[in-house]
Amino acid sequence: MNTPETLRIDGTDSGQRQPAEPRILRDRLLLLLALDAGACIVVGAASGAFTPGVRDAAVAAAAGLVGVAATRLLRRPAGLPKLPGSSSPSSLGHSKRVLLLVMLVGVIAYVGGNATFALFNAETTNPGSSMASGTLTMGNKVNNGTTCQSYGATTADNNNSACDALLTLTNLAPGVGAGQAKLTIQNTGSIDASKLYLSAPYPRTTLSAQITSGATVTSLTVAALTNAVSSGNVLQVSYGGSSQNFTASAGAAVGATSVAVTSVTATATFPINSRVLNTSGNASAATTECADAKTTSSPVAGATYGTQLNFNAITNNPLCQAMLFYVQEQSATGKNYCWYGRGSSASPSPDSNGQCRTPTTATLSSTLGTGSPITSLPVAALTGNVKSGDSIVLTEGSNTQTFVASAAAYINDTSIPVSSLTPNYAYTSAATVKDTTAFSALDGDATDTISSFDTGHPQTGRIQLYPVTANNTTNNAATVELNRNNDAGYSRIFYVGVYMPASSANQLQGLASTFGLNWHIDQ
């Protein structure tokens, strides 16, 4: 006869055995754990994550767990009385447990038993599979220079901050000072880029002394600052795949080679030349990456230069605030889009033809005849745009004549359509050809400046450069914005220019602005 043990009110049995209810709970938990393990094996097997050996071992372990759990469940819990009203004989409960055990064994067998217990078996192996990742790299070529590759960075992170400068312009004068560079951005990798972005870089410098992982850092030793750092600015130091933010604990002036930071432990080693970005920059004209300094020499021998003058303060980067700036794209098929500058969609006067306003001058490519009216001006490849209706003034010596553009002309065009007019002089290639309407428009523009670009388009406000499909039209739904190397669309061409407005004041004499541009692609 099976005599139930006496169950004590405190939950322990009279024989000092382990309490019955916690033991039952533990057993059921064990069973649940086994079920969970089985489920994980199902998921793992289905996803192919397990090798056969691992799968078999997991199956065996799960089976063991189930076995232990089931064995324990099959035992009547000591001291557990029958429930009142429960007429189920113990043999029925026993049968249920047996059936449950059989079901579990079946499940386990379904998942892994075939490999473990089949007598017949067969197997094939596909050896030597290989997987290789693609590449996403970018080329950056200025004019006809050498292509600068993103992977050529000293910071070893596919982020090259040292590509050629776009513009090096000296001795600019109001109303005439201008320059333009042709920039070719290429996807030199094997993977399409779904995104291409243009942005203003953060003010930056580089480490001139290594930071060692685990060291307590209270200051950063850097190359001379070109932009001031304010207390509280966040300085991001990066090298390779590591980066860490430091917070400036005190200001540092332009030219400083050390920046005090709030004490923190370095999380990685950052060698000399690691990149240091002031991610608090570009918040205002005073903190733009574009920075002004006084010139310390002149390209004209003996001429005055910035540091000799007392009326050209550099507070708030006045030249950066005055210099007009544009980014004009021209596709391989001659389609145009103005991404920034007067004429862009964000400017006060968007252009329906996709033209940025440029300070356009030209040179005649042949001498004009005076015998009959002409309807176009033959010019050497234009370095700027002309809008329909613009006044085109030719001047040679004391001779001058104004033509009116009858249609738009674009960068690289070799003629300017004009309303029919007979030249009043046989103008030669020595004549100056000037789009005076364009100059007037630019002289009245105080918006599209380098400073405005920096504050309006920092990394967080970067411009997405959708593919240009027609003049002033982009395909914003395109899934690829810079195709992989050598596919159609793997290269895009931009013309980046600046202009010093005629209204520039004396206070802008003898100043030098430095500024960069960031080009970024994503997979």
Can you tell me which residue has the tokens 């550099």?
314
Kind and range of the H or E run holding 265: strand 258-265
Q: Interaction with another protein in 159-178: which residues (CB under 8 A)?
A: 159-177
Stretch that binds another protein, among 56-64, 148-156, 352-360, 382-390 (CB under 8 A): 148-156
Determine contact, residues 471/354, Cβ cutoff 8 Å: yes
What is the smallest separation between the CB atom of 162 and another protein, expressed in angstroms?
6
65, 73, 108, 136: residue in contact with another protein (rule CB under 8 A): 136
Please check whether residue 194 is in contact with residue 202, taking contact to mean a CB–CB distance below 8 angstroms: no
Q: By CB under 8 A, tell whether 43 contacts another protein.
A: yes
Tokens linked to 64 = 């063991």
Find the part of the chain contacting another protein (CB under 8 A) among 24-32, 346-354, 365-373, 428-436: 24-32
Q: x-or-dash pattern for another protein, window 91-130, by CB under 8 A?
A: ----------------------------------------
The two beta strands, 463-464 and 195-199, are: antiparallel
Q: Does 30 bind another protein (CB under 8 A)?
A: no
State how far the Cα of 484 lies from the Cα of 151, in Å rounded to an integer.
16
Closer of 337 and 519 to another protein (Cβ) = 519
Which helix or strand (DSSP H or E) is residue 182 part of? strand 178-187
Q: Which of residues 225-254 bind another protein (CB under 8 A)?
A: 226
Q: Of 327, 414, 402, 399, give the one whose Cα is nearest residue 362.
A: 414
26 binds another protein (CB under 8 A): no
Of 20-28, 330-338, 343-351, 406-414: span binding another protein (CB under 8 A): 20-28
Q: Which residues, numbered 443-502, are part of the site for another protein (CB under 8 A)?
A: 498, 500
**Using CA atoms, how far apart are residues 85 and 449, in angstroms rounded to an integer?**
89
Minimum gap (Å) between residue 291 Cβ and another protein = 9
Residue number with CB closer to another protein (48 or 371): 48
| Residues touching another protein, count (CB under 8 A) | 97
Hey, which residues between 404 and 433 contact another protein (CB under 8 A)?
none
Q: Which is nearer to another protein, 36 or 232 (CB)?
A: 36
Binder among 299, 315, 460, 479 for another protein (CB under 8 A): 299
Of residues 9, 118, 131, 253, which one binds another protein by CB under 8 A?
A: 9
286 Cβ contact partners less than 8 Å away, ≥ 6 residues apart: 315, 316, 317
Other CB atoms within a 10 A radius of the CB of residue 281 amount to 28
- Name the helix (H) or strand (E) containing 37: helix 20-47
Is 142 a residue that touches another protein (CB under 8 A)? yes
Q: Does 137 bind another protein (CB under 8 A)?
A: yes
Cβ closest to another protein, residue 8 vs residue 419: 8
With CB under 8 A as the contact rule, the residue among 158, 245, 279, 440 that binds another protein is: 158
**Residues contacting residue 126 through CB under 8 Å, at least 6 positions apart:** none
Residue 47 binds another protein (CB under 8 A): yes
Interaction with another protein in 65-84: which residues (CB under 8 A)? 80-81, 83-84
Q: Which is nearer to another protein, 47 or 91 (CB)?
A: 47
DSSP string, 76-134: PPTTPPPPTT----HHHHHHHHHHHHHHHHHHHIIIIIHHHH-SS--------------
Residue 90 touches another protein, criterion: CB under 8 A = no
What is residue 488's DSSP assignment? T
Q: How far is the CB of 117 from another protein (least distance, A)?
A: 27
HEC assignment per residue over 327-344: EEEECCCCCEEEEECCCC
CB of 430 to another protein, least distance (A): 18
Residue whose tokens read 């067998």: 109
**Least Å distance between CB 308 and another protein?**
7
Given the complex with another protein, which of 32 and 99 has the nearer CB atom? 32
- Residue (351 or 445) nearer to another protein, CB: 445
From candidates 295, 317, 321, 451, binder to another protein by CB under 8 A: 295
- Compute the chain's Rg from CA coordinates: 38
- When the beta carbons of 170 and 212 are compared against another protein, the nearer one is 170
Nearest approach, Cβ of residue 122 and another protein (Å): 29
CA 119 to chain centre: 58
Of 361-400, binders to another protein (CB under 8 A) are none
* Angle between helices 52-74 and 90-108 in degrees, nearest 10: 180
Q: Please name the residue that has the structure tokens 């210099």.
A: 323
Under the binding rule (CB under 8 A), the answer on residue 61 touching another protein is no
- What's the angle, vertex CA 17, arms to CA 13 and CA 22, rounded to 5? 80
Name the residue nearer to another protein (CB basis): 215 or 303: 303
417 Rama sector, left if φ>0, alpha if ψ -120 to 50, beta otherwise? beta
Q: Among residue numbers 316 through 355, which ones bind another protein (CB under 8 A)? A: 319, 323
Of the candidate residues 303, 381, 446, 478, the single one contacting another protein (CB under 8 A)? 303
> In the chain, what's the furthest Cα-to-Cα distance?
134
Residue 49 in the binding site for another protein (CB under 8 A): yes
Strands (E), 344-500: 361-362, 374-378, 391-396, 399-404, 415-421, 432-435, 463-464, 468-470, 473-474, 491-499
Residues in 504-523 at the binding interface with another protein, rule: CB under 8 A: 504, 506-523
Near another protein by CB under 8 A: residue from 208, 245, 249, 298: 298
Nearest to residue 101, comparing CAs of 120, 132, 129, 74? 74
